Amino acid sequence: MKLKFKIILGILSLVLLAQLIRPEELSSVKTQPVKGLAGVPEEVAKVLETSCFDCHSSQTSWRWFDRLTPANFLVASHIRDGRKALDFSQWDSLASPQRNAMLYFALNGMLSKEMPLSSYTALHPAAKLDQKDIDLIRNYLLNNAVSKPASIESNSMGAEKPSIMEVKKTPNGIAYLPNYRNWKAISTTERFDNGTIRIIFGNPIAVEAIHEGKTNPFPDGTIFAKTAWKQQQGKDGSVYAGQFVQVEFMIKDVKRYAGTKGWGWARWKGENLLPYGKTVKFDSECISCHRPERDNDYVFTRPLDIRDLNKK
Amino acid sequence: MRLTFTAGAFPLIILLMTGCKPNATDRINNAASITSISRLPENPLEMTPMAVSLQPKAKTMSTLYGNSIAAKRLRDGAYYAAGSVLYLVTWKGKADPDWFGAHIPDRVTAIERISFDQNGQKSYTFFKGPGWDPALDLKKNERLIIILSIPIAKSP
């Protein structure tokens, strides 16, 4: 009996002592309320504020149980990682296409059932989303943020190709791959969230892996290239690929790219193929948006099976 | 005490394991892949993709493919030379189940083939796809002109 009492007392004092160790975030960061999301209806802003702002903005409200060590470390890490992936505090500094992109990103986080984190809603039931909340945001985007193709007049095609140019490596050290236009198309997508039209190319290793069903994981040597063009209105009512926007690559090499989920991530933008990204770790942005596909080797595309019709 | 703990932990672990998302086995877009259209002389999906287009009214999306002679146009912009073979494959579009904001190909509605013989004479062949919509009335002469004037998707 006495021993049991001592043990309990010991544990209790440990827990109390532990409270002295706290994550920096708890003391250093003052939570600043984010002004309501300008330009969106109040109900839409409300959903995001109640369900997402605790981890995706500087406006965090810590409940008493969130402040206890060790829970506070978990909460602090959620906020740190959460804000890295998506930060509504930047809203006011964004132009409207970026704001819309942020809302599409947020909505897809909800639709994939990843967000808000279920460990969080268990303790903060008010943050749980129901279908009504999700439909509210979906309908807002469909009615206000569907990109339209550029009109016929603004056609800037036919511009001569700049002759041989030197394309710089991306900040994570990946060299440009100029031959992807000879690869096969494993899919195409129309993106009405940002008004582009895309071809997803697979190199021969990718195409064969898809045909043999070896897609999870894809074998080393697999490369995907995704090109995006602005949608361009044609005279006949069809929409065509207009101005070139960017090309992105995912290059599979489990060892070499062990730190970035087995893939090398690269993007070059515009006619001048400027490498995208400011720091070596720019690719965390790619990974964070591809994360809902982590059970599918981080690949979104549901590819076409390309087979030789003569071989049965 | 210990026994009840272990006995209790096991179902919990199994529950956690089975609660995880099962590995999606088939991520291949089989409906959109060309596998069942007979009489096709070659598989257009094996050729070089040259252009893409959308038909908002019909809610379809198309890709223009070319054989190696036709694909020269990608590099030099010159008109299709003798020996060129072009395919326009058109799919019904559907919502991307993984990304709200995208449409991806569903069933093939039509495949159209244009070939240039050694004298540059064009011939047009139409193949009905499993997703064919009879409301779409494709007239041979119009189609030749439309397909041959599709702007190439250029990249630097």
Boundaries of every domain in chain A? 17-144, 178-296
Going B125 to B128 to B129 to B131, the CA torsion angle's sign is positive
| Assigned domain for B18 exists | no
Q: What's A193's DSSP letter?
A: T
pLDDT for position A102: 95
Q: Is the confidence at residue B40, as pLDDT, over 60? A: yes
| Assigned domain for B75 exists | yes
pLDDT for position B7: 42
Task: Give the CATH number of the domain where residue B57 resides.
Answer: 3.50.70.20
Residues B154, A157: C-beta atoms closer than 8 Å: yes
pLDDT for position B16: 42
Domain that holds residue B115: 34-148
A202: part of which helix (H) or strand (E)? strand A196-202
| 8 A C-beta contact, residue B49 and residue B63 | yes
Min mean pLDDT across A147-151, A209-213, B1-5, B61-65 is at B1-5
Please list every residue in chain A whose beta carbon sits closer than 8 Å to the beta carbon of residue B61: 188, 190
| 8 A C-beta contact, residue B109 and residue B136 | yes
| Assigned domain for B82 exists | yes
Cβ under 8 Å to A: B residues 71-90? 71, 74
Task: Establish if B95 touches chain A: CB-CB under 8 angstroms.
Answer: no
| Assigned domain for B156 exists | no
**Among chain A residues, CA nearest to B42:** A309
Q: What's the gap in Å between the CA of B82 and the closest CA on chain A?
A: 20
Pairwise pLDDT comparison (A160 vs B127), residue with the higher score: B127
- β-bridge mates for residue A227, sequence order: A199, A247
Instruction: Return averaged pLDDT per consecutive 10 residues of chain A, 312 residues in all.
Output: 82 77 61 76 93 88 76 82 91 92 95 90 89 94 88 54 77 96 97 96 97 95 98 92 97 97 97 94 95 96 88 56
| 8 A C-beta contact, residue B11 and residue B113 | no
Q: What's the gap in Å between the CA of A49 and the closest CA on chain B?
A: 21
Tell me which residue in A107, A157, A244 faces B156 most closely, judged by beta carbons. A244
| 8 A C-beta contact, residue A56 and residue A82 | yes
Residues B33, A305: C-beta atoms closer than 8 Å: yes
What does the DSSP assignment read for A92-139? GGS-HHHHHHHHHHHHHHHHTT--S-HHHHHH-GGG---HHHHHHHHH
> In chain B, what percentage of residues exceed pLDDT 90?
64
| 8 A C-beta contact, residue B131 and residue A246 | no
Question: Residue B28: pLDDT band by 50, 70, 90 thresholds?
Answer: very high
State which CATH number among 3.90.79.10, 2.40.160.40, 3.50.70.20, 3.40.50.300 fits the domain covering A178-296. Answer: 3.50.70.20
pLDDT for position A24: 67
| 8 A C-beta contact, residue A175 and residue A151 | no
Give the count of Cβ contacts less than 8 A between chain A and B: 158
Rg (CA), chain A: 24
Amino acid letter for position A295: D
pLDDT for position B18: 40
